[in-house]
Amino acid sequence: MKRLKELVAFYFALFPGLLFSISALKAQEAPRLTRASICFRVGCNIWMDDARFAQLLEMFDRRPGATDEITFFTQGTHTPIADEELERRCVLLKQRINEARAHGYRAGINILCTVGHHPEDLPHSIGTEFPRARTLDGKTAEATLCVNNDVFRQRIRRIYAAMANANPDYIWIDDDVRTGHMLDSYGTPGSVCFCDRCLKILAQKFDVDIDRDYLRERLDDPSVLSKIREFTSDSYDRLFALIEETVHNVDPDMPLGFMTGERYDEGYDFERWAKTLSGPDKNKEVYWRPGGGFYEQSSMSSLFGKSHEIGRQVSLLPPEVVVIQSEIENFPYQLLMKSAAVTTLEAVSHIAAGCTGAAFNVLTNNDEPLDEYENMIATIAEKRPFFDLAVQKLGRNPNVGAFPLWEKTDANYPNRTPVQFLTSCFSETGVPIAYKFLPGQTNVVLLSRAYLSHHTPEEVKKLFQLGIYTDLDAVNLANDPATYALNDLTGMEYGGEIRVDGIEKITEHPLNGSFAGRTRDLRQSFWREPIYSLKKTRPGVETLSSCVDYGGDQKAETIVGIFENPAGGRICVNGFYPWGNFYNYSKQSQIRAIMRWLSRDRLPGYVDSFAKINFWLRAPNADGSFAGIAINSNYDTVKDVSIMLKTDKDSIDVYDYSLQKTTVKASSSDEAGYRRFIVPKINPWEPVLFVCE
């Protein structure tokens, strides 16, 4: 028990801001959600025209379930417009909101430009009496206002009061409340603004006099970057406090929502900002819309990359934020750029990563006939029952599985942790991905050198008590006597390089099973990445892969090795393309076996078939029930999909995309407590929801 308490205390010390306590985990189970929260965001080109808006309502009415809400954009361009024009639009918006309600829809306002995005339609933008933000080199960001200016704050009171007086059901703040949206207009690393006023505020965090030159010369200093990040987070928090006060003075119960992306430079302070938006008593409802870039379907891997971005964003939200509508954006709204099928699959993928609904920004921004979007709306309505059931079963429980180590403070360091790089390929092998560290449930971490580089020796030493998958670059830093000197815990070190003609050969080892002797050739002559030989420095290091050349001659005894260290941790070091190209059966199987071994057979589940399947699992409820989603990320139907789950349940219910339920009984079990469930098939680019109750 003492050891358990020490480990839990360590986890909280090592991962501040990323952890829930056990009581917080239980709090996430309530309230249990019954359906997804679905919204359509509607542009001015539609709602400002009587006939087009009436046509849109008719289309929604013909497709029950396509949406619960209609959210009105205040404008169609990305530079703030005049206050008088925005107030004029709010008069019409009040009418449109009432019309939407008459058809049974909740209706709200999405202010596109609180601060400003990037230069667009500057001749019709807000006047020069509103001071613009300035970049670190002193240039003016023509489309972006300075949030710390008193004139700006007076404007916020005026325009948000106007929106609240339009009597919407909610108000959304768009994602222009961020830094560096468009570098050609902003060009500011990690700050809202570097004008003279903002510099005076920022200077309070320094013990010396600062100016733009001082900061520009020290942008590789983590302490300087940290102060800039804190200043930015503080500035936005003051803005959110002003918005909250203004809106709730008009309507004390109106929910406020905020749209985000990955926000390292602003401090990723989602929990803080959510509490500020919830009011001084922390009791107002707050919505969230996490997003990222996936605007067209030419690269489907980007869809899942966005889901992982969204998963990280959701992981930092307090559990009381329940309405989490993923951004589904098909900008610039050319219908064939993203099909209806991909659009709906995207909503499912983001729900799997942690959302409880979706906000569809998919309608035309041009003057095309709206009936061209009939199929899009119909497809969303058709898949709505799957969204609802998925949200009902997944709820707000956190994702569990292998955790690619990251922190919201990664922006402080020039070599930011390439967390996306660490995540994507493992997800496609059927290994479930976690987005935060959960004491008692996280037992496998994916470790990069960049993450190691900004932790104390004591923190890193304790980290090696876990199961770690990593590369030689990180091990070199861990072994370095000038930094951590952890040779006893890594068991391996640099043993040379093979720069041409190297082929991975899987060795005879229990983790490799029947795949011993198979090879993985990634053609160094094309990709130019060296293979690193691993030198064993401690007894007990075992070889999972060696290196041979095209003649079959051995070039290195060990390029993938595992080691159980004296601290009780386990480590796998991969010296050959460690973060990608796991697309042949032998390598997929080896990776899954490694994950199980690293976790000491506590990985909650995984896919055990030769398939490209993105896989998510949620933490169990208090009664032991849990759920997850698997998406076939390929163009072939996969039959007899083997899913291994750590459970004592004898059966699971599997729902296909049409909500056809199949009860699957466990076909086998092993000594470690995993049970094998064979899902009959998963169609190309379709999900299944599995529920264990």
Please write the tens of the pLDDT for every residue from 392-403: 999 999 999 999
pLDDT above 90 covers what percent of the chain? 81
Residue 16 has pLDDT above 80, yes or no: no
Residue 414 belongs to a domain: yes
Instruction: Tell me the per-residue pLDDT of 175-231, one tens digit each, with 9 for 90 and over.
Output: 999 986 654 444 445 678 999 999 999 999 999 999 999 998 998 888 898 899 999
Query: How many Å apart are CA 617 and CA 433, to the nearest integer?
Result: 8
518 pLDDT higher than 70: yes
The mean predicted confidence, pLDDT, of the chain is: 91
**CATH code at position 678:** 2.60.40.1180
Strand, helix or coil at 591? helix
Residue 3 reports pLDDT greater than 80: no
Does residue 559 fall inside a structural domain? Answer: yes
Cα–Cα nearest to 645, from 664, 660, 661: 664
Alpha-carbon distance 217 to 187, whole Å?
16
Residues 425 and 540 in one domain: yes
Strand segments (E) across 149-229 = 171-173
3 state SS of 467: strand
Same domain, 547 and 639: no
pLDDT 10s digits, 457-510: 999 999 999 999 999 999 999 999 999 999 999 999 999 999 999 999 999 999
Instruction: State the angle between helix axes of 50-62 and 374-394 in degrees (0 to 180), rounded to the nearest 10.
Output: 50
Which of 572, 598, 624 corresponds to the end of one domain? 598
Dmax (CA) of the chain: 79
Reported as a pLDDT band with limits 50, 70 and 90, residue 31 is: low
Query: What is the average pLDDT across 536-564?
Result: 97
Average pLDDT, integer, range 365-369: 90
Last residue of one domain, picked from the residues 547, 572, 598: 598
CB-based contacts of 604, cutoff 8 Å, min separation 6: 400, 401, 432, 441, 617, 626, 645, 646
Could you tell me if 591 and 633 lie in one domain? no
Helix, coil or strand: residue 430: coil
**pLDDT at residue 29 in the model:** 45
Residue-level pLDDT at 385: 98
Task: Provide the domain count of the chain.
Answer: 2
Give yes or no: residues 555 and 686 share one domain.
no
Q: Is the pLDDT of residue 10 over 60?
A: no
pLDDT at site 221: 87
Asked, for residue 333, whether it belongs to a domain, the answer is: no
Shared domain for 433 and 462, answered yes or no, is: yes
198: number of Cβ within 10 Å: 21
**Residue 18 confidence (pLDDT) above 60:** no
φ, ψ at 137 (rounded to 5°) = -90, 10
Distance CA 576, CA 527 (A): 12
Q: Same structural domain for residues 584 and 645?
A: no
Pick the last residue of a domain from 565, 598, 631: 598
The Cβ of residue 637 has, within 10 Å, a number of other Cβ atoms equal to 11
Range scoring the smallest mean pLDDT among 353-357, 413-417, 571-575, 653-657: 413-417
Q: Is the pLDDT of residue 1 over 80?
A: no
Task: Answer yes or no: do 645 and 509 share one domain.
Answer: no
Order of all β-strands in the sheet with 286-290? 286-290, 256-260, 171-173, 106-111, 69-73, 37-42, 357-361, 325-329
Residue 655, domain extent: 613-692
Between CA 72 and CA 97 the distance in angstroms is 9
* Average pLDDT of the residues in 115-139: 89
Q: Which of 66, 410, 431 is nearest to 226 (CA)?
A: 410
Classify residue 528: in a domain, yes or no: yes
Using CA atoms, how far residue 404 sits from 142, 192, 396, in Å, is 38, 29, 20
Contacting residues for 663 by C-beta, under 8 A, at least 6 apart: 651, 652, 653, 654
pLDDT of residue 411: 57
**pLDDT given at position 265:** 84
Given a cut of 90, whether residue 685 has pLDDT beyond it is yes
Residues 589 and 664 in one domain: no
**pLDDT above 90: residue 4:** no
Asked, for residue 31, whether it belongs to a domain, the answer is no
Q: Which residue has the higher pLDDT, 182 or 533?
A: 533
Task: Kindly state the tokens that stand for 347.
Answer: 């909503």
Residue 166 counted as domain residue:
no
Give yes or no: residues 581 and 651 share one domain: no
Chain segment 312-334, per-residue pLDDT in tens: 999 999 999 999 999 999 999 99
pLDDT at residue number 158: 98
| Weakest mean pLDDT among 15-29, 58-72, 387-401, 535-549 | 15-29
First to last CA, the chain: 30
Is there a single domain that holds both residue 406 and residue 514?
yes
Supply the pLDDT for residue 479: 97
26 is a domain residue: no
CA angle 648, 612, 645 (to 5 degrees): 5
Alpha-carbon distance of 690 to 672, in angstroms, equals: 21
Look at the chain and count its residues.
693
Q: pTM above 0.85?
A: yes
How confident is the model at residue 690, as a pLDDT? 97
pLDDT of residue 62 exceeding 80, the answer is yes
The CATH number of the domain holding residue 415 is 3.40.50.880
Asked if the model's pLDDT at residue 23 lies above 70, the reply is: no
- Whether 85 shows a pLDDT value over 70: the answer reads yes
SS3 call for 4: helix
Beta-strand relationship, 674-682 and 668-669: antiparallel
pLDDT band at 412 (very low <50, low <70, confident <90, very high): low
User: What's the confidence (pLDDT) of residue 136?
Assistant: 86
Do residues 649 and 579 both lie within one domain? no
**Mean pLDDT for the stretch of residues 242-256:** 98
Q: Where are the beta strands (DSSP E) in 549-665?
A: 554-564, 570-574, 605-607, 613-618, 626-632, 638-646, 651-655, 661-665
Strands 256-260 and 286-290: parallel
What would the 3-class secondary structure string for 103-150 be?
CCCEEEEEECCCCCCCCCCHHHCCCCCCCEEECCCCCEEEEEECCCCH
Assess if residue 183 is contained within a domain. Answer: no
What tens digit of pLDDT does each residue of 615-628 get?
A: 999 999 988 999 99
Sheet holding 651-655, edge to edge: 399-400, 613-618, 626-632, 687-692, 651-655, 661-665
For 628-656, the three-class secondary structure string (H helix, E strand, C coil) is: EEEEECCCCCEEEEEEEEECCCCEEEEEC
Same domain, 545 and 476: yes
Centre a 10 Å sphere on the Cβ of residue 659 and count the other Cβ atoms it contains: 12
Q: Which SS3 state, helix, strand or coil, does residue 404 take? A: strand
More confident residue, 184 or 649: 649
